[in-house]
A and B are shown apart, each in its own frame.
Chain A
Amino acid sequence: MQTFLDTFFSRSDLIQEAFLQHIYLSFIALAIGIGIALPLGIFVARYRRLAEPIIGVTAIFQTIPSLALFGFLVPLIGIGTMTALIALIIYALLPILRNTYTGITTIDDSIIEAGRGMGMTTGQLLRQIEFPLALPFIMAGIRTATVLTVGIATLATFVGAGGLGDVIYRGLQSYNNALVLAGALPVTILAILFDLILKWIEKKATPKGLKTGR
């Protein structure tokens, strides 16, 4: 314990920098992941014939071992932050896409028909009915993607993009278990923290009428 604290404080500069890089990587990857998967989810919920192939492709991405994916991307894009971001975005896609699709398609048909029958346009239906009702699902998908991304971002060190993986890797190379822990612990804390924040947002985002009586 003492050696861990010593290591932690003596390397605090390194850890702090890696920590910020880690947050940066995860955050940007998630933001872009949401930016792609959310509209795509809404799109495939409209054109359901496309849903299986598109979700299938993201599922295949998901099955590629993360280390291998980083390996694939290096000859294509080279090393650096960009490579790490692309890999992380690819992993964030599936949970958000699938949950957006499920959230929208599981809405009771009668609710959609009522909206249409009363003269709502497709856009009004999406904004006022489908999106709010699917929001709890979408938020759950974003939470899964977040925990996943924060974890996998430790591999960014292998393509030279930094992050807390740097600290862990250095520890491994120098047989310094305390340093490994000093890198791994912040990752765990970060993942739990993000998850808690998003859980709180999810609760806030759940429409009031859905909390009562269900």
Chain B
Amino acid sequence: MIQFDKVTKVFGDGTEALKDVSLTIPTEELVVLIGPSGCGKTTLMKMINRLEIPTSGEVYVGGKDVSSVDAVELRKTIGYVIQRIGLFPHMSVERNASLVPNLKGWTKTKKTEQVYELMQMVGLDPKEYLSKYPLELSGGQQQRIGVVRALAGNPDIVLMDEPFSALDPISREQLQMEIKNIQKKLKKTIVFVTHDMDEALKIADTIVIMRNGQIEQTGTPTELIESPINQFVQDFIGIERINQKKSIGKRELQDLIPSFNRSEQSSYLIVEANILVEEAINLLENVGIESLLVKKGNKELGFVNQSTLLRAMLTKEEVS
């Protein structure tokens, strides 16, 4: 768990980047900090691994005040992915990926095992890619290595600073899905900074909308779309997204068959194909179950979860 307690930040030139911000980020959640540029989202995130020091207020990671912990030791326990990738061009993919394990002094077997597993998880064949150098890879591949590097030290928390904003739309889409799956699978707490609302709605468990160094609203994607607290939040989410969601919410689940997931899920509830999309979302949010098996009579149509439904709502073609 990460807690910010009345954090303020005033930079040397007098700009107030954060004004009295308090926020709790629960364990194993993917929390997205979003807002226009200059809203303080990156500054807030960097306080977690002490790349920024609050002017006043405290930051707690796992119950410990970060200012009482050695910065270097703290950072080794927190994964970090940055926007411009920041792979070390003079090191092979393998050395890049095993950087934190090296700093932590892991054995060679443990390092190799970890890096192999993570490489496979992000869809890169370790045998082919480990000996390559970053500049030989495409942007999407480089950022996959960036993700591997951040996870290699087995951190509980991963910070991601607009990690996919420089990528082409296809790689971005793939990586968004991968990061969501990885987070579920490895049970990490991820703090993700972005300015892209579509990205936030797709991957977030919780979205924190910020403006001028303050938090405007915190909530799940559905909460934000359904009840934006003020005009700013509504504008920031975008009125089209809200309307789209409303119109799709009134439709039946079976209208969304193309976006159903066919693979078997571990825990699910069985629902009828003719329930409304908004009812399905309520079920998923309130019952605390990950997915729904949609049935029409005896026929299984497939599985849906919160993110497939949200994605369906945000894809324009399906509104027609």
Contact = CB atoms under 8 A, between A and B. Distances in A.
A117 B85 contact: no
B75 A110 contact: no
Given A119-B74, A209-B89, A114 B135 contact: no
B10 interface: no
A108 B103 CA distance: 22
B154 interface: no
B91 A209 contact: yes
Given A118-B99, A121-B72, A212-B133, A113 B86 contact: yes
A72 to B, nearest CB: 43
Q: Among B51, B72, B153, find the residue whose CB has the most chain A CB atoms closer than 10 A.
A: B72
A116 interface: yes
A207 B90 CA distance: 5
A171 B85 CA distance: 62
Interface in B76-123: 76-77, 80, 82-92, 99-100, 103
Interface secondary structure of A, over-half rule:
helix
A133 B73 contact: no
B72 A120 contact: yes
B245 interface: no
Contact of B82 (A117, A132, A214): A117
A188 interface: no
B83 A118 contact: no
B83 A110 contact: yes
Q: Determine which residue in A116, A118, A213 has the highest number of CB atoms from chain B within 10 A of its CB, and name it.
A: A118
A207 B72 CA distance: 26
Interface residues of A, number: 24
B75 A119 contact: yes
Given A110-B85, A209-B133, A118 B100 contact: yes
Given A117-B49, A119-B75, A209 B99 contact: no
A209 B91 CA distance: 6
B75 A117 contact: yes
A119 B77 CA distance: 8
Interface in A78-130: 108, 110-111, 113-121, 124, 128-129
Contacts, number: 81
B134 interface: yes
B149 interface: yes
Interface in B295-310: none
B226 interface: no
A126 to B, nearest CB: 13
A111 B89 CA distance: 9
B136 A213 contact: yes
A132 B76 contact: no
Given A118-B149, A119-B73, A207 B89 contact: yes
Most buried by B among A117, A124, A129: A117
Contacts of B76: 118-119
Contact of A212 (B73, B136, B159): B136
B72 to A, nearest CB: 5
Contacts of A57: none
Given A114-B82, A212-B133, A119 B89 contact: no
A131 B61 CA distance: 33
B44 to A, nearest CB: 15
Contacts of B86: 108, 110-111, 113-115
Nearest to B80: A117
B156 to A, nearest CB: 14
A10 to B, nearest CB: 53
Contacts of A108: 84, 86
Interface in A194-214: 207-210, 212-214
A116 B100 CA distance: 11
A212 B133 CA distance: 8
A111 B72 contact: no
A187 to B, nearest CB: 36
Counting from the closest, the 3 A-B pairs by CB-CB distance are A114-B86, A207-B90, A209-B133
25 contacts: A108-B84, A110-B83, A110-B85, A111-B86, A111-B88, A114-B87, A115-B88, A117-B49, A118-B75, A118-B76, A118-B103, A118-B150, A118-B153, A119-B73, A119-B100, A119-B103, A121-B72, A207-B90, A208-B92, A209-B88, A209-B133, A209-B135, A210-B135, A213-B135, A213-B136
Given A115-B88, A117-B49, A118-B150, 9 more contacts: A113-B51, A113-B82, A115-B86, A117-B159, A119-B72, A128-B88, A133-B90, A209-B91, A210-B135
